[in-house]
């Protein structure tokens, strides 16, 4: 079985990994539909991920990436593999679905570990989308299990009173600084009325208090994904943030 039919992945030359588990569009008949959970994909996230990679490539920046090509109605890589929300557990195709699910996660961890081994750190971005229910809702929500997946940081002290002025999280802080200039943003560090559901799924939980990794679940609204001018701004912001963190 050629798993490249289901997952697109490539190693890069910088300590950043981009994952996109819900943007797939293929619906192979030999894999039965799931019986639980959400079946709607994060529309546009696959192509947006490809565009981000292309923009970075033009700047001679090659990051690691892992993109699902299979539709979420078949396999959900952001759910535990033993449940019906991940794939159909009652159909003969479950063995193949489980192999594909397992491959995604093994490949993901291989990419992260290779970054740690070579560079001593890794910025992991799990790219998702959500539907913005009303105008007051954030345009972007960043999940990090309320700071528990951000291991690489320094505390900057105020020179006058020697008190901690702010915390700098490598990669994450650059993203915040770029995105907040143009979008209503929830940074995920404290519980709010918006971010509990987006604090981090099964993938991000793999990085709970994991050393040498800053891992985030990056949720962008349909408002951004469906508006070309906003989408261009978002892509410009995220690629600038990645470039800036690589200068550190």
Evaluate whether 26 touches 46 at the Cβ level (below 8 Å). no
pLDDT at 79: 98
| Neighbour tally for 33: CB within 10 Å | 14
- Give tens-digit pLDDT for 114-139: 999 999 999 999 999 999 999 999 99
pTM score, two decimals? 0.95
Helix, strand or coil, per DSSP, at residue 68? strand
Neighbours of 40 (CB within 10 A): 11
Residue 7 pLDDT exceeds 60: yes
Output the furthest CA–CA distance in the chain (Å, rounded).
67
pLDDT at position 155 is 73
**pLDDT tens track for 25-82:** 999 999 999 999 999 999 999 999 999 999 999 999 999 999 999 999 999 999 999 9
pLDDT, mean of residues 3-22: 96
Residue 163 has pLDDT above 60, yes or no: no
Of all residues in the chain, the percent with pLDDT exceeding 70 is: 95
What is the rounded distance in angstroms from the CA atom of residue 143 to the CA atom of residue 185? 11
Q: Does domain 3-246 bear CATH number 3.40.630.40?
A: yes
> What sign for the dihedral angle of Cα 229, 230, 234, 240?
positive
């Amino acid at each position: 079985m050629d798993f490249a039919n289901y997952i697109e992945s490539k190693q890069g030359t910088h300590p950043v990994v981009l994952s996109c588990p819900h943007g797939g569009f293929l619906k192979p008949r030999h894999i039965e539909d799931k019986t639980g959970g959400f079946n709607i994909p994060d529309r546009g996230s696959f192509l947006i991920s490809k565009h981000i990679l292309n923009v970075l490539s033009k700047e001679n920046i090659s990051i690691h990436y892992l993109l699902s090509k299979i539709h979420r109605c078949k396999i959900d890589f952001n759910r535990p593999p033993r449940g019906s929300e991940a794939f159909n557990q009652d159909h003969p195709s479950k063995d193949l679905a489980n192999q594909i699910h397992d491959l995604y996660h093994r490949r993901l961890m291989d990419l992260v570990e290779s970054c740690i081994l070579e560079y001593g750190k890794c910025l992991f971005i799990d790219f998702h989308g959500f539907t913005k229910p009303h105008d007051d809702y954030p345009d972007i929500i960043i999940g990090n299990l309320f700071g528990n997946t951000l291991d690489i940081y320094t505390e900057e002290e105020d020179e006058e009173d020697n008190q901690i002025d702010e915390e700098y999280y490598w990669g994450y802080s650059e993203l915040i600084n770029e995105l907040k200039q143009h979008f209503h943003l929830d940074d995920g560090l404290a519980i709010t009325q918006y971010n509990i559901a987006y604090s981090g799924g099964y993938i991000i939980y793999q990085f709970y208090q994991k050393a040498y990794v800053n891992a985030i679940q990056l949720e962008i609204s349909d408002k951004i994904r469906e508006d070309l001018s906003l989408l261009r701004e978002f892509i410009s912001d995220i690629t600038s943030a990645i470039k800036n963190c690589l200068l550190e």
